[in-house]
Amino acid sequence: MMIFRSLYKLITTSVIIAGLFATELVFAHDLPGADFAGVWEHMGNFRKFKNDPVFTPEAQIFIDKQTELRDKGDYSGDNSANCIPPSLPTMITIGAQELLVDKKKITWIMESIGGIRWIWLDGRSPVDLNEVRPAAFGHSVGHWEGDTLVVESIGFLDKSNLYGNRPNNESVFPGPKMHVVERLHLEDNSKVMVNQRTITDPKNFAKPWTTTSRYERRPDWELEEAICAENNLTEEYE
């Protein structure tokens, strides 16, 4: 009798464990946003989008001074030379990108500097500007509208360059009220990811600036290591 009881417990436990694993696998397959996972390559020139921003008078003066200096080969105003990464959305249009999806968030990895941003999907409210530490890529919270992922980001570092659609990477620094809204969806049987984003920043832009990026899925690519440290002089990473 004891043998049958032990065998019953073993079989029952095995069935429960197998059921849990099966449930988790099914859940992972059906996870909202699962089709966004993978490596993507930005399509087109990240320095030139279809729509130009309309700068505030102060920002326009700042941009024009950079153009004058950079025409002479002086790029001292670009903080990326000191390994301060460009701001969102500039950084997610440079080089390969990888998206990882789990139940709580999307982790967005940027190859060119090894940067990471998190898009939280766990139902949390947008962050309070007075309670967050500014970050190069801001603080992002997302939700789903059908098959479209809508992401709101605020809290940007004011030392990160936001490229202004100019050939010499003339840029502005995010203002304290900069707000980015992204709308992402997939096209062409999930082979293309489209990101339409609108930047509102009263310090720099006279009106919201909307641009669209397209990314091609690269199923055979793997991200490579990229390391940047302030005043880095290591040849392997130049």
Any idea of the CA torsion for 46, 169, 171, 88, to the nearest 10 degrees? Answer: 30
Compare 82 and 194 and report the one with higher pLDDT.
194
Average pLDDT over residues 142-160: 95
Average pLDDT over residues 92-105: 93
Contacts of 128 (CB under 8 A, 6+ apart): none
What residue type is assigned to position 196 of the chain? Q
| pTM attached to this predicted model | 0.82
| Residues recorded for the chain | 238
Q: Which of 24-33, 71-80, 197-206, 221-230 has the lowest mean pLDDT?
A: 24-33
The predicted-structure confidence for 183-236, as pLDDT tens digits, reads as follows: 999 999 999 999 999 999 999 999 999 999 999 999 999 999 887 765 555 454
User: What is the pLDDT, as a whole number, of residue 89?
Assistant: 85
Among 186, 88, 72, 99, smallest CA distance to 135 is for 88
Average pLDDT over residues 25-33: 61
